[in-house]
Amino acid sequence: MVAAPRVMRLRQRFPRLVAAVLSLATLAACATNIRDLNLRPDKHYQQKLSVVGRIMRLQSVDGDTLVEIADRRENRLLVRTTQPMGATVGDWVKVTGVLVPESRVGDTTVYDLLVAEDISPSRGPWLPDIM
């Protein structure tokens, strides 16, 4: 019995490696993003989810902080938090919270709002203009 040369073993493993990489890329593309929340917010109401975006605006209202975040294509989402913000305008953050159909911020009702449980620093997209 002759051992298979290294090239033959590589040829046998290559399709499995490609399939694994494509599976991971597909799963990463299925993550919830700001665009999906804007298109069908009712599909995500009362669900805990995480999104990554860049802080566009910050506003303090009666002890709450209202944050507007945007993805790389400028799709925007309002986030309400009660915790102190360590980030400033222009920083990329990952927000984890619950999307609610409406909420009172000060004396104003705001619709389709993400109530943040955690806001942590994040990095921007690796390839911002690929798609």
Domains of the chain: 34-121 (2.40.50.140)
Count Cβ atoms below 10 Å from residue 67 Cβ, excluding itself.
24
The type of residue at 126 is W
Confidence bin at 13 (pLDDT 50/70/90): confident
Confidence bin at 123 (pLDDT 50/70/90): confident
If phi > 0 it is left, if psi is from -120 to 50 it is alpha, else beta; for residue 68 that is beta
**What does pLDDT average to over the chain?**
84
- According to the model, what pLDDT value does residue 130 have? 58
**Does the model's pTM come out above 0.75?**
no
- According to the model, what pLDDT value does residue 8 have? 63
Q: Look at residue 29 and tell me whether its pLDDT is greater than 90.
A: no
Q: How many C-alpha atoms does 80 have within 13 Å on its Cβ side?
A: 21
Q: Look at residue 122 and tell me whether its pLDDT is greater than 70.
A: yes
